Amino acid sequence: MPEYAQCLIRGFPQSPGISYGLKKNWCKADNQLLNGLSLHSVTEIFFAMTKYIFVTGGVTSSLGKGIISASLAKLLQDRGLKVTIQKFDPYINVDPGTLNPYEHGECYVTDDGAETDLDLGHYERFLNISTSQANNVTTGRIYQTVISKERAGDYLGKTVQVIPHITDEIKRRISLLTEKDNYDIVITELGGTVGDIESLPFIEAVRQFRNEVGRGNSIVIHLTLIPYLSAAKELKTKPTQHSVKELLTYGIQPDILACRTEHELSDEIRQKLALFCNVKTEAVIEVIDAPSIYDVPLLMLKEGLDKAALKMLNLDGLPEPDLSAWKGFLSRLKNPVNTVKIGLVGKYNELQDAYKSIHESLVHAGAENETRVEVVPIHSEAIENSDYDIEKLNALHGVLVAPGFGDRGVEGKIIALKYLREQKIPFFGICLGMQCAVIEFARNVVQLKEADSTEFNPKTPHPVINLMESQRKVTKKGGTMRLGAYDCKLKKNSIARKAYGKEIIQERHRHRFELNSEYRDQLEKHGLKTTGVNPELQLTEIVELDDHPWFVGVQFHPEFKSRVEKPHALFVAFVKAALEYKKHIRK
């Protein structure tokens, strides 16, 4: 029997599974066979089970657990491992779909129609993968599932309790992703801050789960804050010590400390943290403030976060990560040849996270065009109330009219759109932004003066935007819109077709209202063309304006499919059009 087979039978030192390092260090007898296998094949052979990484937060919220999780996942992915990330949110909402953007930022939609936390956007943008409903779990969904089981009699008359029933459901969700795909590593980000009462069942479930999978198969990374006291001119470790102490009271010893800081951590500070928090010095990772979230993977590589994690998971020996494409993106991002100003007309501009994916999509598209995109927020209510001089739009090279719900600020968007159309300034409308473009055109070009959406005026005589047929009997709000990815067929020679370079595309949706097909011919006759249609339902997905350099409105959300290493085609084309417009006005 070859020695590599004997290795498999005997079991591996310290761990039930190890990848590239095992091939290299322990199985030398049949090198010809092993060397003929790809890294993925070797991984499939040697991995007896998936490894799990849990990311918790301490001291305060908003430290960037999502970015740290995505950065670590990127480093592991570029070492050849198959990685996914999931987010556990402790709030009782079943999903963020009914939350106001001011409450929780944007609601991110996946291909399968899940309304999820915006951190899933970071995961997809960093890893160039598609997530699903299984990647985002809330307390509300956990309890909903458990209560449904209880009503169905699944617990055989037992008293349903937080332990074991709630924690068992959380543990089932932790490993659910591995049932759908063969992942090497699953990273689970726990929302909230250690000590929050609503987070306790998740922390307890992690404690139980770690005992069940065994040492070497899971680790906990605790992201915490090292505040700087300017009066004393020193960093303070006490908040982190207390945060770790709190975690220990729940039975969890963190393996790695990721320390968010404004100043570099000295060796003395690292040693102090290691001593009082019971971790190794090399497991104290500095997470210093970065110029851009896209710098974080390289900073974590420099700090050795991935190496520390792999060593603790008994996976050391993997090849170094290949970050050449990422570095190329960063180089273009930091060394732009041009600059454009893009206006963002919306009603949630006070909170940048409300339009997080749009902002990041413009960053990606800017880098692709070697252009710095300066986003100028414009509140639609300010336009509506005449608190904004509409002629200021002339100073911009393009304007994006953002999505949203409700009638607040809509008239301001319509006023802006009239000016953009008449002054031939590049325009990009998303969802409600596209619908407002249709309303403006119908009123001022087609001369249907009372044209409107039935969302804002149910009694309008000209409902150019109307409730979809499938939505007419829907009464519940949560999870009932047209959600997820749908096909769209593009018209030949259209702006969209040239941007995508193909006829059939798939984009993600989140809406109840659509362009009323009864007005399509009338709109087209006056120059507003339907250039993208859903082939199944013949719904209008894209409109473009004749006699305009770049005027595109889309019913879907292209911002949800833009990636660092694969910017979205429409955003790239929009930024390019803004560049062309800038050159034109200079002449």
- Which residue numbers are catalytic? 431, 557, 559
CA distance 138 to 115: 11
CA distance 303 to 308: 9
DSSP at 536: T
CA distance 118 to 99: 12
253: exposed, middle or buried (Cβ count in 10 Å: 0-12, 13-18, 19+):
middle
Q: Which amino acid is at 137?
A: V
Nearest Cα to Cα of residue 86 among 170, 210, 4: 170
Q: Is the dihedral of CA 253, 257, 261, 267 positive or negative?
A: positive
> Strand, coil or helix: what is 225?
strand
Peptide bond connecting 549 to the previous residue in cis, omega within 30 degrees of 0: no
Residue 444 neighbours by CB distance under 10 Å:
16
Strand order in the sheet with 256-261: 136-138, 83-89, 185-190, 51-57, 218-225, 256-261, 284-288
DSSP string across 417-443: HHHHHHHT--EEEETHHHHHHHHHHHH
CA distance 404 to 433: 8
Upper half-sphere CA count for residue 298 (Cβ side, 13 Å): 15
> Strand, coil or helix: what is 32?
helix
Look up residue 359 and give its two tokens. Answer: 């902002």
Please work out, in degrees rounded to the nearest 5, the angle formed at the alpha carbon of residue 149 by the alpha carbons of 147 and 151. Answer: 70
CA distance 196 to 78: 34
